[in-house]
């Protein structure tokens, strides 16, 4: 008995070996695919260090996260109806000119209008940040960024809002931009006035383990006037993370935009009996990438 007698011709198995056309298609498509992957990997490396190891594994991790990136980071997240609609900032001037081009997830950087070290605007910005740390009324400390694992960050000594070990903001020396966590209304104002945009995976929910929902990039200031505006925005981040109004009497906290529903909506952890539940470096590691590296984000006193 043969296959021909058991099965009709239409049901007989066929060879699964690739034919010459399939092999030819592979030869044609493989080189451009390799070129594209190599070029994309080099673009990832060109953004510099920050947040993700500069390895093939780090690259693949970012490509996976990019599948869930926000479709438009320049549209602010809506302010929940049960939150107050005003934040720390009452107004901001519009930023002049086009927005810079931005690329990446971790690292997440400007690729145009870069004003990092050693430009004058960057030096002025760093001086303003260190002045904030140097004022004891602000209850801030300087340390290596918990989110980035590289570069300098500002940390609240007694945070009210949950971030990576109480990090308020960090600045990127390569391009002069900053990342920070803002109250929803302040984040909305910053984005609408052209001063920044949302982080690509600042979606909340599951992705809060990487960055807070209202985590934004603030563009690099281009001159002294813009440094002053960015310093005001940093003040809003200080207020939201720690409750401290920059420059006011030591210990003064302003809770005017927090509501009973804040913990559910934006992940705020309040003080209990005068002792914060989450303080700086004691934040659980699962809430950000950087916190898994225990040497990052350690609080240290400001020194010149």
Whole-number pLDDT of residue 17: 59
How far from the centroid of its chain's Cα atoms is residue 13's Cα?
55
> What is the residue extent of each domain of the chain?
56-292
Q: Which residues pair with 246 in a beta bridge?
A: none
Question: Which residues, other chains included, contact 29 with Cβ-Cβ below 8 Å and sequence gap of 6+?
Answer: none
Q: Which residues pair with 179 in a beta bridge?
A: 170, 217
Tokens of 273: 């009996």
Dihedral sign for Cα 169, 170, 176, 177, please.
Answer: negative
- In angstroms, the Cα distances linking 130 to 19, 119, 134, 231, 240 are 67, 17, 6, 11, 19
Top pLDDT among 135 and 149 is at 135
Whole-number pLDDT of residue 294: 34
Q: Which residue has the tokens 């011709």?
A: 9
Given a cut of 50, is residue 235 above it in pLDDT?
A: yes
Confidence of residue 62 (pLDDT cuts 50, 70, 90): confident
Confidence of residue 188 (pLDDT cuts 50, 70, 90): very high
Rounded distance, CA 157 to CA 138, Å?
Answer: 9
CB 77 within 8 A of CB 198: yes
Given a cut of 70, is residue 140 above it in pLDDT?
A: yes
Average pLDDT value for residue range 144-162: 90
Given a cut of 60, is residue 257 above it in pLDDT?
A: no
Whole-number pLDDT of residue 1: 55
Top pLDDT among 6 and 93 is at 93
pLDDT digits (tens, 9 = 90+) for 9-34: 555 555 565 677 787 777 787 777 77
Predicted TM-score of the model (pTM): 0.75
Rounded distance, CA 89 to CA 180, Å?
Answer: 15
Given a cut of 50, is residue 159 above it in pLDDT?
A: yes
């Amino acid at each position: 008995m043969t296959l021909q007698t058991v099965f009709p011709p239409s049901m007989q198995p066929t060879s699964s070996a690739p034919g010459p056309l399939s092999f030819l298609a592979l030869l044609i498509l493989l080189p451009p695919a390799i070129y594209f992957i190599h070029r994309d990997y080099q673009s990832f490396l060109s953004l510099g260090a920050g947040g993700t190891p500069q390895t093939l594994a780090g690259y693949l991790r970012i490509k996976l996260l990019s599948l869930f990136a926000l479709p438009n980071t320049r549209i602010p997240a809506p302010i929940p109806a049960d939150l107050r609609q005003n934040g720390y900032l009452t107004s901001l001037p519009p930023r002049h000119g086009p927005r810079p081009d931005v690329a990446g997830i971790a690292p997440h950087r400007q690729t145009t209008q870069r004003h990092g070290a050693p430009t004058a605007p960057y030096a002025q910005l760093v001086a303003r940040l260190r002045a904030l740390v140097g004022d004891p009324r602000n209850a801030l400390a300087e340390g290596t960024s918990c989110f980035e694992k590289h570069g300098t960050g500002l940390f609240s000594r007694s945070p009210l809002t949950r971030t990576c070990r109480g990090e308020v903001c960090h600045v990127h020396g390569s391009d002069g931009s900053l990342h920070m966590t803002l109250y929803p209304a302040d984040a909305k104002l910053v984005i609408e006035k052209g001063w920044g945009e949302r982080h690509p995976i600042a979606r909340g929910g599951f992705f809060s383990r990487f960055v807070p929902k209202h985590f934004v990039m603030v563009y690099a200031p281009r001159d002294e006037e813009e440094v002053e505006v960015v310093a005001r925005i940093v003040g809003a981040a200080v207020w939201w993370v720690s409750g401290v109004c920059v420059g006011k009497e030591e210990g003064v906290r302003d809770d005017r935009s927090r509501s009973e529903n804040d913990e559910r909506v934006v992940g705020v952890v309040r003080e209990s009996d005068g002792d914060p539940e989450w303080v700086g470096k004691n934040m659980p590691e699962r809430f950000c990438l950087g916190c898994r590296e225990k040497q990052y984000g350690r609080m240290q006193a400001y020194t010149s």
